[in-house]
Amino acid sequence: MALLMFAVPVSAVTVADPRGDSLVAMRVLDEQVARIGHRLAVANLDLCADRRWLPGFAVHDLSQYGGEYRDAASRAFGLGARPAVLAVPPGGPADRAGLRADDLLVSLDGAALPDGESASDGSFERMEHILGAIETAFADGVADVEFERGGVSLAVRVEAERGCPSRFQVIPSRRLNALADGRYVQLTTAIADYAQDEQELAAVLAHEFAHNVLSHRARLDAADVERGFFGNFGRNARLIRETEIEADRLSVYLLDRAGYDPEAPVRFWTRFGKRGLNFLGSATHPNWRRRIDLFRTEIEAIRRSRAAGDLPIPEFLSAPADAPEATARR
């Protein structure tokens, strides 16, 4: 009798998997960021000089996960030799075609994706190859995607939609930070957690996305602007500050066009600024009160355009450059 009573609860015990749980929780954020990013990229197509076909799904691979998180990722997502779908923004091309999270990708237009264990541990090298293969397959706007789901081989044709080319990523970090480099828009889990709702999260992403839309990285590189420590002084700081102001101004238009609340940056940066965080008032960034003024000025311009039945377009995109070192904004 004692053995029987002991056996029942032991068989029902679930082994704790904190690393797996943290990865699952982060995947929820990945899905949210993918959804916001896709909306921003598609809704603002006319503002982008560079345009791509976007298939509407994000992927991940076991090679990305380092240390003990590698086994946790395998348990949580079924990752192994093949890359898998990480997130599928609802209503997007992949969602309409029937692709789902955790589908294991086999080939695109008959070209096999990497298959087999990667020697790298926590490296992004293999993922870059996978992402490049996806972009190549969808270069003409459509691709046949072969995948496995529950051990069954399936295939769908995904018809992509045009959008601005940026890859949206979540980075595990306790730092309150977000950045853009011309190709990627990245934000940390800490700043994502600080956002009170999806509208505020979209506001953070829209600011960084604006840097890519405006080709700020290429513009600063062409002007030989130094980053890091020397970016806080003189000409370097002034030119970086110009890009930050432009990104703030454009961000509310990006939000409005994608169906988000253009007032969300006001709420987020007011709360953030009152905490006294340094980068909101530095040589390269206006202080938070100045940023709020910039947002409100553009929000009023958006409202006037909407009231007149026009699509809001930032005036500074077509205005002549104020500084001789500034280049075309688009």
Q: Please state the three-class secondary structure of 70-118 as a single string.
A: HHHHHHHHCCCCCCEEEECCCCCHHHHHCCCCCCEEEEECCEECCCCCC
Task: Read off the tokens for 2.
Answer: 């004692």
What's the pLDDT at 277?
Answer: 53
Cα dihedral: 272, 274, 280, 286 (round 10): 120
What's the pLDDT at 11?
Answer: 43
Q: What is the DSSP string of 14-35?
A: PPP-HHHHHHHHHHHHHHHHHH
What's the Cα-to-Cα distance from 63 to each of 33, 72, 220, rounded to whole Å? 21, 12, 33
**Taking 70 as the threshold, does the pLDDT of residue 117 lie above it?**
no
Of 110-114, 216-220, 231-235, 322-326, give the lowest mean pLDDT range.
Answer: 322-326
**Taking 60 as the threshold, does the pLDDT of residue 187 lie above it?**
yes
Q: What is the DSSP string of 275-286?
A: TT-GGGSSSSS-
Domains, the chain, in order of start with CATH, read 18-163 (2.30.42.10), 167-317 (no CATH)
Rounded distance, CA 158 to CA 312, Å? 31
Per the CB < 8 A criterion, the answer to whether 105 and 116 are in contact is no
**pLDDT range class, residue 273, cuts 50, 70, 90:** confident
Give mean pLDDT, residues 232-252. 94
Of 75-79, 177-181, 326-330, give the lowest mean pLDDT range.
Answer: 326-330
Give mean pLDDT, residues 319-329. 35
This prediction's pTM: 0.88
**Taking 90 as the threshold, does the pLDDT of residue 321 lie above it?**
no
**Taking 80 as the threshold, does the pLDDT of residue 13 lie above it?**
no
**pLDDT range class, residue 276, cuts 50, 70, 90:** low
DSSP annotation of 275 reads T
**Taking 50 as the threshold, does the pLDDT of residue 325 lie above it?**
no
**pLDDT range class, residue 118, cuts 50, 70, 90:** low
Q: At residue 270, what are phi and psi to the nearest 5 degrees?
A: -65, -50
**Taking 90 as the threshold, does the pLDDT of residue 193 lie above it?**
yes
Q: Mean pLDDT over all residues of the chain?
A: 88
Percentage, residues of the chain above pLDDT 90: 76
Q: Which has the higher per-residue pLDDT, 205 or 319? A: 205
Rounded distance, CA 111 to CA 93, Å? 20
> What pLDDT digit, counting tens, does each position of 84-105 carry?
999 999 999 999 999 999 999 9
